[in-house]
Every structure is written in structure tokens, then in C-alpha cells.
């Protein structure tokens, strides 16, 4: 993918046609400069709403009508309401990047079935394992797929998870073989990361189509699964229903544990800073809680696919400029998820009104990350906060050295540069859009209209006197 599939996009119903007593609506989509149309009937809208409804967002689909549904006045009114429905769907990646919505909008130029074939190919290409089942829709994006594997030997009963993901815009390359080769070299290096903070996969492999990993199946899933008390294999939209959970960590007895988790995440950030690794998307969905109370990071290999995360719009409005600062931003987003259980990140400018609801111990660190200021705080500045004064943890970098092959380190730096460049380009587009909206608001304001009327009237008076 050369374009970001998680980018917010515009959708407009530009027409309709009555075909055999059914109405077919023409939907025009515009995402990252790509414009295309799809034709859909009401039952398609109804199916889409049914699939997205479990997330807990009221999308306000207009009700079904059995008689008179080809009346032109009714069709026109319904088209307006369906337009509003689609705009609500297209406002967040959790909704429009789901497999069902991706099929509805035909988001991918590559058929979704090809992605399913890719994960099946990866499963068959590893004869040590046997495919048990595909985990349909257990993630929020259609271009990352999961399956459950087991040992091919009947006397073994170990279960594994196969995860496959396509390449994204920050990993774009015209030489597909070269990209796969350097990605595999990177995986060899990543195997040497300290196991106390990084989940070790059984296999991490890249080919020309994407990246896949095989990991041991976690009985309780990731920290987000633990918080919501759900099974990892279930549908993402059903597992993490919005507004139905308060974080189990937002408790006076859990402050020390949360502080300990945050302290460990900072150590992981320091590791990535030291090797220029292009990972920044921390969230509770890629953190694993161990039995001894410590945490470790999973899915960090998929940073090399070059995809954005679901909170891209919030990131664009933050003060983060470098990948290092983007890691700090997502540290703040993860703390926010610890405290609230919310899987969506508010825009930084909206955080001011939320601080008073957080435990007082965490208000300072969140204000430093999300509050106004020229720069993001550094890891050293964060560690100097009173929050970590009594938090004891062994810094992972103490006595640890990394022997990074030069070509691997160069690739890490190249990817970081692409990530930073694309973020700045998107910010420029956002600033331009805001300026246009401001100008339009001014031009069509009552005061401006009256000013122009006064100028015209004054001009006409002068013409009359002549």
C-alpha cells in the first residue's frame, strides 16, 4: 500500500437509480487523493450497520420501509439520512477499517480475499504447524489477519497464533525482494532484544506480500483483553465495546502497579531510542501482563510494515515531530488507556478538561505529554518526576550493548525518516484545511456579508450622484 488505509476519508452519495423495485445508491469515496464509486442497496447499509453496531456507536441508520420505498420524495429523504450514516462510519478507523466496512467501501485496491490467501499461504508454508481456524475480525483493520495454529504432531497440544500484515506507506519500495530481504535481516537482529521486556515469537518472516509471525497463544490475551475480560479470538467490535468498561487499573490500590508498568514502558522506549527502531504505537493491545506483575511488548516486529495506528488524527494534532517523540505521545495514550479503559485517544487540546478526573499521581506526566509546549518531554525528564521516585525497576540498558549490522541500522533510520516526513506532510495538509475552513467561515459570516452589501450600496450611491 502506498496510501494510508487508516486515513479519514470523505464519502458522498451522488445519485440513485431504481432497478427492479429496488433503489441502488451511488457512493463516491475519496481517500488520500484516490477517488472511486461503489453502488449499494439499502440492505447493504443495513448489513454494515449490523456489523458495526456492537462497538456501541449509534450510527443512526434510517429505518427499513416495506411499502412506498421507490417514491421519489421518500428516496430523496432517505438518501440524505444514508449520507449522514456513512459520514459517521467514515469518521474513525475502528469503523471504516473493519473487514465488513472495507468490503462495503471497497477500500483496498487489492481484493480482501488476497489477504486471506496470504495468511493461508503462510500457514501452509510452515509444515510444523496445522491450521485450526481463522480468527475473523479479531483486530480492527482488514489488512492485519490472525489465525490459530497447533502442532502438526498429534502428541503435541501446543497452540499458536499466526499474524499476517501487509506493507504500508512508510515501508513503500519499488524493489519488493530487497524490502523483504532487509526486513528479514532486521528480524534476525530483533531476536537479540532482552526477553524480559520483549515477547519472543517462534517465527518472524517477511516476503514480498507482507510480514507474518507465529507466537505462542496467550491464555488471557493482551492487557486490553485482560481489562475487558474477553477472549483474544473474538470480534474486535464486540470485545472492546465503547463506554462499557472502567479500567481495572483506575483504583487507589493499583496506582503502584500502574506506575511500575509506565516505568517499564519507558525502559522499552529507551531501548528503541538507542537503536533508532521505527516502533512508536504503544497501546494496551500490544502489552502482555506476566504472572509476576511485569509487562512485555508484543507485535513490535510489525513496525517494519510501515502502517499508521488508529489514533493518527490525535497524533497529527500533538507536538510530536520525531519518532522518539511519537513514542512519548503513545506512552501518554497508553497511560490514558490504563486510567480510563478507553481504546480511543482524545485530541491533545481536549485533555485539559479531563485531568481532574485522573488520579493526582498521573496528572503531571499527562500534562507534560499532552499539554501546550514546544517539545515533548524526554525519557530522562519523565524519570525525574515524583511519580517514579519510589518505583524500583532494573533499567534494561544497564550493561547492555547492541551489535547492530550497519545495513540494519541504516534501514531503521530510513524508515524513521519516512515516518517523520509523512507526519509533517499530513500536518501541512491539516493546517491548510483549517485555514481554508477559517476563510470560508469568514466569507460566509453575516458580518462579512453585511460588509460587502455596504460596499456595494456605497458604490451605487456614488454612481447615482454622478
CATH of domain 112-421: 1.10.510.10
Give the contacts of 403 (CB within 8 A, at least 6 positions apart).
none
For the ranges 108-122, 283-297, 376-390, which has the lowest average pLDDT? 108-122
Give the contacts of 149 (CB within 8 A, at least 6 positions apart).
123, 126, 129, 130, 131, 132, 159, 160, 161, 162, 214
Q: Does residue 60 have a pLDDT over 90? A: yes
Residue among 458, 426, 456 at smallest CA distance from 4: 426
Secondary structure (3-state) at 154: coil
- What value does the CA radius of gyration of the chain take, rounded to a whole number of Å? 25
Average confidence score pLDDT of the chain: 88
For the ranges 77-91, 103-117, 178-192, 375-389, which has the lowest average pLDDT? 103-117
Fold of domain 9-105: PX Domain (3.30.1520)
Longest dimension (CA), the chain: 105
pLDDT of 253: 62
For the chain, give the percent of residues with pLDDT over 70.
88
pLDDT of 400: 74
Range with the largest mean pLDDT of 114-123, 312-321, 456-465: 312-321
> CA-CA distance, 21 to 304, in Å (whole number)?
50
Q: Does residue 218 have a pLDDT over 70? A: yes
pLDDT of 111: 63
pLDDT of 357: 82
Give the contacts of 456 (CB within 8 A, at least 6 positions apart).
none
DSSP 296-330: EE--GGGGGG----TTHHHHHTSS--SHHHHHHHH
> CA-CA distance, 63 to 70, in Å (whole number)?
15
Give the contacts of 112 (CB within 8 A, at least 6 positions apart).
99, 102, 103, 142
Q: Does residue 449 have a pLDDT over 90? A: no
pLDDT band for 423, please (50, 70, 90 cuts).
Answer: very high
Q: What is the mean pLDDT of residues 114-135?
A: 86
Burial class (CB in 10 A: 0-12, 13-18, 19+), 48: buried
Q: Does residue 210 have a pLDDT over 80? A: yes
pLDDT of 438: 65
Secondary structure (3-state) at 34: strand
Beta strand residue intervals within 65-158, DSSP E = 129-135, 144-151
More confident residue, 438 or 126: 126
Q: Does residue 117 have a pLDDT over 90? A: no
Amino acid at each position: 500500500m502506498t496510501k494510508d488505509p487508516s486515513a479519514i476519508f470523505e464519502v458522498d452519495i451522488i445519485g440513485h437509480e431504481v432497478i427492479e423495485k429496488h433503489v441502488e445508491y451511488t457512493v463516491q469515496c475519496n481517500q488520500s487523493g484516490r477517488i472511486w464509486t461503489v453502488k449499494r442497496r439499502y440492505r447493504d447499509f443495513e448489513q454494515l450497520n449490523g456489523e458495526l453496531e456492537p462497538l456501541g456507536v449509534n450510527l443512526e441508520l434510517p429505518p427499513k420501509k416495506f411499502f412506498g420505498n421507490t417514491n421519489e420524495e421518500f428516496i430523496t429523504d432517505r438518501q440524505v439520512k444514508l449520507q449522514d450514516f456513512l459520514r459517521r462510519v467514515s469518521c474513525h478507523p475502528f469503523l471504516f477499517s473493519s473487514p465488513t466496512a472495507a468490503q462495503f467501501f471497497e477500500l483496498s485496491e487489492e481484493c480482501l480475499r488476497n489477504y486471506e490467501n496470504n495468511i493461508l499461504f503462510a500457514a501452509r508454508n510452515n509444515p510444523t504447524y496445522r491450521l485450526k481456524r481463522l480468527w475473523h475480525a479479531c483486530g480492527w483493520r482488514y489488512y492485519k489477519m490472525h489465525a490459530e495454529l497447533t502442532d502438526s504432531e498429534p502428541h503435541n497440544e501446543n497452540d499458536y497464533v499466526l499474524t499476517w500484515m501487509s506493507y504500508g506507506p512508510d515501508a513503500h519500495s519499488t524493489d519488493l525482494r530487497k524490502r523483504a530481504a532487509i526486513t528479514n535481516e532486521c528480524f534476525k537482529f530483533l531476536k537479540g532484544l532482552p526477553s524480559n521486556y520483549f515477547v519472543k515469537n517462534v517465527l518472524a518472516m517477511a516476503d514480498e506480500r507482507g510480514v507474518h509471525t507465529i507466537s505462542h497463544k496467550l491464555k488471557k490475551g493482551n492487557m486490553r483483553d485482560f481489562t475487558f475480560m474477553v477472549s483474544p479470538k473474538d470480534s474486535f467490535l464486540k470485545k472492546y465495546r465503547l463506554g462499557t468498561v472502567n479500567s481495572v487499573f483506575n483504583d487507589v490500590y493499583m496506582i503502584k502497579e500502574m506506575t511500575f508498568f509506565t516505568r517499564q514502558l519507558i525502559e522499552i522506549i529507551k531501548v528503541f531510542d538507542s537503536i533508532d527502531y521505527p516502533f512508536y504505537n504503544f497501546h494496551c493491545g500490544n502489552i502482555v501482563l506476566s504472572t509476576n506483575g511485569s509487562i512485555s511488548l508484543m507485535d513490535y516486529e510489525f513496525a517494519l510494515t510501515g502502517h499508521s495506528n488508529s489514533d493518527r488524527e490525535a497524533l497529527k494534532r500533538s507536538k510530536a515531530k520525531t519518532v522518539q517523540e511519537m513514542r512519548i505521545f503513545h506512552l501518554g495514550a497508553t497511560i490514558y488507556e490504563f486510567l480510563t479503559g478507553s481504546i480511543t485517544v482524545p485530541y491533545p487540546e481536549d485533555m485539559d478538561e479531563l485531568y481532574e478526573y485522573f488520579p493526582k499521581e498521573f496528572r503531571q506526566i499527562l500534562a507534560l505529554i499532552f499539554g501546550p509546549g514546544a517539545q515533548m518531554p524526554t525519557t530522562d525528564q519523565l524519570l525525574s518526576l515524583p511519580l517514579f521516585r519510589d518505583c524500583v525497576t532494573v533499567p534494561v540498558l544497564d550493561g547492555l550493548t547492541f551489535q547492530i549490522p550497519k545495513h540494519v541500522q541504516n534501514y531503521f533510520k530510513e524508515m524513521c525518516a519516512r515516518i517523520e516526513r509523512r507526519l509533517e506532510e499530513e500536518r501541512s495538509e491539516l493546517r491548510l484545511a483549517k485555514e481554508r475552513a477559517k476563510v470560508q467561515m469568514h466569507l460566509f459570516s453575516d458580518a462579512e456579508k453585511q460588509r460587502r452589501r455596504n460596499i456595494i450600496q456605497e458604490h451605487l450611491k456614488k454612481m447615482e450622484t454622478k
